[in-house]
Amino acid sequence: MRAMLLTKAKPAEESPLHEADLPIPAPGPGEIRVRVRVCGVCHTDLHTVEGDLPLPKLPLVPGHQIVGVVEASGPAVHEFKEGDRVGIPWLYSTCGHCAYCAKGLENLCESARFTGYHVDGGYAEAVVVPAAFAYGIPKTFSDVEAAPLLCAGVIGYRSLRLSNAQSGERLGLYGFGASAHIVIQLARHMNCEVYVFTRSSAHRELALALGAAWAGAAQDAPPARLDSAIIFAPAGPLVPEALRVLRKGGTVALAGITMSPIPEMDYSLIYHERIIRSVANSTRQDARDLLRLAAEIPVRTEVQEFSLSEVNQALQALKHSQIRGAGVLKV
């Protein structure tokens, strides 16, 4: 099968992925093989190919926002049948019995494995996944529209929950890429007033078109203090900027899998019971809830399409904030 393979981590500008012909994977017990139709391009993929994250395996096929069709099943698969359309997100498998799994925190499982990181992902014509970690895609969405929901949407949904945002409150979004352009629609659905902080004028325009009450730069003063904030950009200096405009008792959620160092800051920024919390991965329930809610609203994903062979160009565009909404590979 055709796949885009990473053999050595290096900057996106050096085109780290090259085309390869790999064997078609065979599903084992409890697994399905999915013929990939599309795969979203995520900041985590960028951190993977550039070596910002320690790589557990090489060579590696990245990609974890996969939409495709079940074409084969291993023994003991009851969730799906051949021909079903499914989505495959970042969380590939968990142990199911550690202390975190027992508490419903499988996103923190000590033995968790992730798609396109521990195992080959969706920058390929086919992928294998445990059936218990795949999801039916609502008919509301085309393949291309659904792909960004599987990570940008799911992580955004979890970040929104962990930000403690409530109906009628003011929510700040720092960075306005694939995840934030979905989250703003979730937040507006729950009647939040959304303030967007981004360097890109094009992203500000999109934010306002999607219902933002205000859009500006991180250093600007919004019209009112925020009740909650989510930082999507992997930039540590945004943390004190968000705290600067946060009310007493408010929460700042950090949605990225990695972040540059957070600068030293005065204690007064976190005094009055302000909360800073990270968001780590997601659970299967997060994915189920997000897909249901996205179909109910319905969420509209802004998508820029690339062919599989254009994946390096897609990663370069993502790195330089040149994608409006989300990038998706058509496989």
Rounded mean pLDDT of the chain? 97
The pLDDT assigned to 15 comes to 97
pLDDT at 324 over 90: no
pLDDT in tens, 112-141: 999 999 999 999 999 999 999 999 999 999
pLDDT tens profile 136-183: 999 999 999 999 999 999 999 999 999 999 999 999 999 999 999 999
Count of CA atoms in the C-beta half-sphere (13 A) of 129: 35
- Residue 200 φ/ψ, nearest 5 degrees: -85, 125
Q: Which pTM was predicted?
A: 0.94
Band the pLDDT of 327: cuts 50, 70, 90.
very high
What is the rounded distance in angstroms from the CA atom of residue 124 to the CA atom of residue 24?
A: 10
Q: Residue 220 gets which letter from DSSP? A: S
Give 49's pLDDT tier (boundaries 50, 70, 90). Answer: very high
pLDDT reading at 36 higher than 90:
yes
* Average pLDDT for 5-27: 97
Strands 31-41 vs 66-73: parallel, antiparallel or unpaired: antiparallel
Q: In the prediction, which pLDDT does 91 show?
A: 98
Average pLDDT over residues 193-219: 96
Check residue 323 and give left, alpha or beta (phi > 0: left; psi -120 to 50: alpha).
Answer: beta
CA distance 164 to 144: 30
> In 105-255, where do the E strands start and end?
113-114, 126-130, 135-136, 170-174, 193-197, 214-216, 226-231, 246-254
> What mean pLDDT do residues 207-221 have?
96
Helices and strands counted in the chain (H then E): 9, 17
For residue 50, the one-letter residue type is E
- Kindly state the percentage of the chain with pLDDT values over 90: 99
Q: In angstroms, rounded to a whole number, what is the distance separating the alpha carbons of residues 42 and 63? A: 8
CA dihedral of 256, 257, 259, 264, whole degrees rounded to 10? 90
Enumerate domains of the chain plus CATH numbers.
2-149+281-330 (3.90.180.10), 154-278 (3.40.50.720)
- DSSP code for 289: H
The residue-averaged pLDDT of 3-16 equals 97
pLDDT of residue 45: 96
Looking at residues 11-29, what average pLDDT do you find? 97
Side-chain half-sphere of 111: how many Cα atoms within 13 Å?
A: 8
Helix pair 178-189, 284-296: axis angle to 10 deg: 70
If we measure between CA atoms, which residue out of 181, 159, 179 comes closest to residue 107? 159
CA distances to 142, 172, 176, 181, 189 from 198, rounded to whole Å, are 29, 11, 6, 12, 22
Q: What is the pLDDT of residues 239-288, one digit of tens each?
A: 999 999 999 999 999 999 999 999 999 999 999 999 999 999 999 999 99
Pair 49, 62: CB distance under 8 Å:
yes
Query: In this model, does residue 213 exceed pLDDT 90?
Result: yes
Q: What is the dihedral of CA 222, 225, 226, 230, to 10 degrees?
A: 50
